A and B are shown apart, each in its own frame.
Chain A
Amino acid sequence: QSALTQPRSVSGSPGQSVTISCTGTGSNVGVYNHVSWYQHHSGKAPKLIIYDDTKRPSGVPDRFSGSKSGNTASLTISGLQAEDETDYYCCSYAGSYSWVFGGGTTVTVL
């Protein structure tokens, strides 16, 4: 149950796009279409922004999009806004009723 690999940080200017990668293995990301992404402001409850690799819950802006290729999933934030500056985590189902999170990525808006 090793954690999924995410970059520690990414940054971009307002209006730009940033992409966060999430690399797993053929036992989790690569075999299940069940990667989810969470936005987490310190001191608050995490918020689901992408589920099942590419789906967006109602109410989440379409600036947030998910994709996947092989063992790597990605979250793209388009039209970056100041309020997007926080931590983001990926999570994948890993079989046998288990899940695994990534180490988290801090997005900085320059």
Chain B
Amino acid sequence: EAQLVESGGGLVQPGGSLRLSCVASGFTFDDYAMFWVRQSPGKGLEWVSGISWNSGSVGSADSVKGRFTISRDNAKNTLFLQMKSLRPEDTALYYCAKRNSGSYGFDVWGQGTMVSVSS
């Protein structure tokens, strides 16, 4: 069974940095594009960033561009999100998600890791 487990969340001060990780199991990690999606308290889902299977294609939402960097280590079946210059509005539950084979949807999701940005 495909599974994604996020970690690395926590409380950080505005302007600080954090690195999230997502470990994949139950599928061939390096066959699939991977993504980060977040949900701020009381708000909807927001696409954050995506990376192709070989890291050749990368994209990020305007709200995080220049501050967040997505990367992956296929040898370790792990997806990362390096976050810097964090703002209170980045406070959210961050989900890792796998792209559905042959389509543009996200078919496997983790349970999320919470990031809180506050002084």
Contact = CB atoms under 8 A, between A and B. Distances in A.
A52 B44 contact: no
Interface residues of A, number: 30
B45 A1 contact: no
Contact of A96 (B44, B45, B47, B59): B59
Interface of A: 1, 3, 32, 34, 36, 38, 40, 44-48, 50-52, 55, 57, 87, 89, 91, 93, 96-104
Q: Residue among B35, B105, B109 with the most chain A CB within 10 A?
A: B105
Count class of interface residues, chain B: 20 to 34
Given A3-B44, A103-B44, A97 B57 contact: yes
A101 B105 contact: no
A101 B61 CA distance: 11
A97 B109 contact: no
Contacts of A48: 100, 105-107
